[in-house]
Structure 1
């Protein structure tokens, strides 16, 4: 037990250090060049570390069990135990209890600690991005700068990313701050500021300025009045007073499925499912009314006696209505096709979001179960291969874990798209490992290897003898 705990904590710390270094490499662009204090960087890594425990903990258990039990078998300690009447099951009993308790702890950690740290980490990331707006502007997507501007650029260049190409800006109007009534499009631009100044100048070249006018009169507003101008150079001054405060503790209104515990996820899943069902129902009703069937329902018209002279449905309607029906049918068909295509994309997005919530819920449960199953793979496998240390056990553990991990990744991606159910996508890698753990435990407790080559050779020899006869 003591040997297992020492090895476990050593492996866990080493793997955490490796994965944290990988995290620094992934997010170096968000941390570098912003004059951040060391305390802020350490806080970033502190809030980032709980999310990688879901990878490090199962791998640590698998590696440790392989190393420890492989070392016991290599030093013939299991043979000594069996000579004194101690079986492998009894030797594993205390460790099995520890692993079960560790799995339960992993569940509570995943349910309580990880959502809190995820919120803090995402919140800190957003606050750090505001330290330098030029870095906060990512290519190919809208980025909020301050409270009034959303900026999208196709390409950035320059040492500090100050030169911009194909700039699109949505600016809020003071009369209607909830709407983006001003749109500015320019071929290129440049971010310029003076050291110590709270003003960022965005210089735009060769573009157009569009602004929708807000009229009090409803009839005038129906005309959709707007202002359009062309400019060769236009300068926008953005107040960075709020950004220059550099308050990394500011609380932002952000949320995703990784920030919720099981209770919150269950509530969100129910509300999302209900909203999705109602949305589909409203869409089907809307499509029915858009067909115009209600408009042409006329009891007098429909009392026409059916006979051989009627070749189509249009024949039962008066001649003056047939042209209107055909025109309406064509328009409805085109509108229905467009509406169905748009609704299909919207439904796919909503289903994907709902699947992510369901996957997040099952991941909190599967973590503890995976820890237990991987222990019952590593421990008997180490006793069978009879090799300890950091050599062969580490190779075997990495191969098994990568197999487990990549199966889970592919399954979760398929579950997000709706190809398979989120429950299957989350549990399939663990359920695949379950029979392997049972089989390896049976082979180890009955003193059998993975493959009995002598028995296999005897069966092949008997097979050839039968063919010869």
Structure 2
């Protein structure tokens, strides 16, 4: 846990270092953030502790004494099996109750710190709200306190929430003092744009606006509300990491219903735009000779609102009932319809993929809570028999084996998680695949340790290979003797 907390410190050091944040606040954030490390720490801890414990018992011939007294490996493990069962159950309740609450606290604390420290609230590459009426985007932050900004874009809201003022500058600087609630934003080498309100209705179509270039422009923002921030305030709870299983199940059902409605409406809209809904084609599967009294279909008799055609041949022959110039127009209209539909699909693709990924996130988060509990139970049956087989205790070989097995389990889980988030595999498989791979390994090692055998019986393998060669040699000699 200590090692993973230091990893978290290095991960967030850029946000806290040099920002005049009290160590108490940093310690509170790490305290809230530490439960999020348990899904990584606990499986490694169970694996390492079981290898070290049973390796030490085997190294000191404790298992030999137990077997001599008629105590089997299963009986020796029975007490720890009961313990690991209760630990797995407790892990599920921890993942279901403590981790969401800690995520809620850490996220809101980090957000409130960002409100209290404006330089920290500005994120590179995205628009960030600084104050109530200013939305700012910067390409890069640098300087001692990240107070120097490059390529600044500012949207300033007017009365009524109208976004009618845009300011762009090459450079910017945040200037503030400890005893002042006023933040100065000094912009250099930029342009100022503002949409003006027309004096009369007739002049609105002219879109009046003001444009100016400046070498230096200073903005003043009131930080009295920003600095009056309750760090323990929590008003955001919309992340899947902050929800329990019951809440995730409800959210998954709601998201599924909402997405199904959105996908269905979008599909119906695209279908109607193609015009296929107004096309009614009746095919006659029986090949009969055309009757003499069948009325001839004319292009003039076809209604554009209700397109009904009776065709006995291929539907491609519909266009042949029109004149040549009209055929060219219909082909151009069809091509334009296809191009517009393709553009609409490409524009909607990002939003649909985002919704699908959000749904997968929620399902994956719910199954991971169950998978974590089973992972602790299964990894115990991987580490305990492996320690009894290798007969080594301490922090040497057991540490190497534990880290190797854990990295295998961890990387498989990461790859499966990434694939399940983008929909390549179902979230159910993505959450359980790493645990499922460790399950047969645990069964195999437990059976080998119970039978007091090594992981790989090299002697048995060589004997089988040698018996195979001797059988082939004997068969060859018999064939020479009896041609």
Q: Which residue does 1:300 correspond to in 2?
A: 301
Q: Which residue does 1:68 correspond to in 2?
A: 53
Q: What SS does structure 2 have at the residue aligned with 1:130?
A: helix
Q: Which residue does 2:107 correspond to in 1?
A: 122
Q: Which residue does 1:161 correspond to in 2?
A: 146
Contact 1:157 1:164 survives alignment (8 Å): yes
Deviations 1:200-242 (A, max 9, x none): 1222234333445678999987x59352412213322111111
Q: Which residue does 1:252 correspond to in 2?
A: 235
Q: 1:143 aligns with which of 94, 108, 128?
A: 128
Q: 1:366 aligns with which of 368, 371, 376?
A: 371
Equivalent residues in 2 for 1:24-423, closer than 5 Å: 24-175=9-160, 177=161, 180-212=163-195, 223=205, 225=207, 227-232=209-214, 233-292=216-275, 300-301=301-302, 312-316=317-321, 325-326=330-331, 328-423=333-428
Give the Å deviation of 1:145: 1.2
Give the Å deviation of 1:139: 1.6
What is the distance in 2 between the residues matched to 1:85 and 1:306?
A: 88
What is the distance in 1 between the residues matched to 2:46 and 2:267?
A: 52
What is the distance in 1 between the residues matched to 2:64 and 2:81?
A: 20
What is the distance in 2 between the residues matched to 1:275 and 1:216?
A: 45
TM-score, L = length of structure 2: 0.86
Give the Å deviation of 1:189: 2.1
| Deviating more after overlay: 194-203 vs 431-440 | 194-203
Q: Which residue does 1:445 correspond to in 2?
A: 450
Q: What SS does structure 2 have at the residue aligned with 1:187?
A: strand
Distance 1:212 1:320, change over 3 A: farther
What is the distance in 1 between the residues matched to 2:222 and 2:414?
A: 43
Deviations 1:16-70 (A, max 9, x none): 1111111111111222222222321221111011010111111111111101101
Q: What SS does structure 1 have at the residue aligned with 2:116?
A: coil
Distance 1:429 1:136, change over 3 A: same
Contact 1:190 1:202 survives alignment (8 Å): yes
Distance 1:377 1:159, change over 3 A: same
Give the Å deviation of 1:159: 2.4
Give the Å deviation of 1:401: 0.5
Contact 1:212 1:224 survives alignment (8 Å): no
| Deviating more after overlay: 227-236 vs 340-349 | 227-236
| Deviating more after overlay: 154-163 vs 96-105 | 154-163
Deviations 1:84-133 (A, max 9, x none): 11111111111101101000000000000100000000001111123322
Q: What SS does structure 1 have at the residue aligned with 2:236?
A: coil
State whether structure 2 residue 415 is matched by structure 1 residue 433.
no
Q: Which residue does 1:11 correspond to in 2?
A: none
What is the distance in 2 between the residues matched to 1:217 and 1:315?
A: 56
Give the Å deviation of 1:304: 7.3
Distance 1:79 1:293, change over 3 A: closer
What is the distance in 1 between the residues matched to 2:20 and 2:418?
A: 37
What is the distance in 1 between the residues matched to 2:94 and 2:450?
A: 33
Deviations 1:131-180 (A, max 9, x none): 322233222122221222221111223222222222112222322x2x53
Contact 1:30 1:128 survives alignment (8 Å): no
What is the distance in 2 between the residues matched to 1:114 and 1:397?
A: 25
Deviations 1:228-261 (A, max 9, x none): 4122133221111112224312223342110000
Distance 1:59 1:217, change over 3 A: farther
Contact 1:119 1:255 survives alignment (8 Å): no
Residue ranges of structure 2 left out of the alignment (5+ in a row)? 281-298, 475-483
Contact 1:292 1:328 survives alignment (8 Å): no
Residue ranges of structure 1 left out of the alignment (5+ in a row)? 1-15
| Deviating more after overlay: 132-141 vs 64-73 | 132-141
Q: What SS does structure 2 have at the residue aligned with 1:253?
A: coil
Distance 1:317 1:291, change over 3 A: farther
Contact 1:304 1:316 survives alignment (8 Å): no
Distance 1:76 1:43, change over 3 A: same
Calculate the aligned-residue CA RMSD, in Å.
Answer: 2.8
What is the distance in 2 between the residues matched to 1:395 and 1:28?
A: 29
Q: Which has more radius of gyration?
A: 2
Contact 1:373 1:433 survives alignment (8 Å): yes
Deviations 1:277-324 (A, max 9, x none): 11111111211232346789999316778699x985344457897676
Give the Å deviation of 1:462: 1.9
Contact 2:148 2:173 survives alignment (8 Å): yes
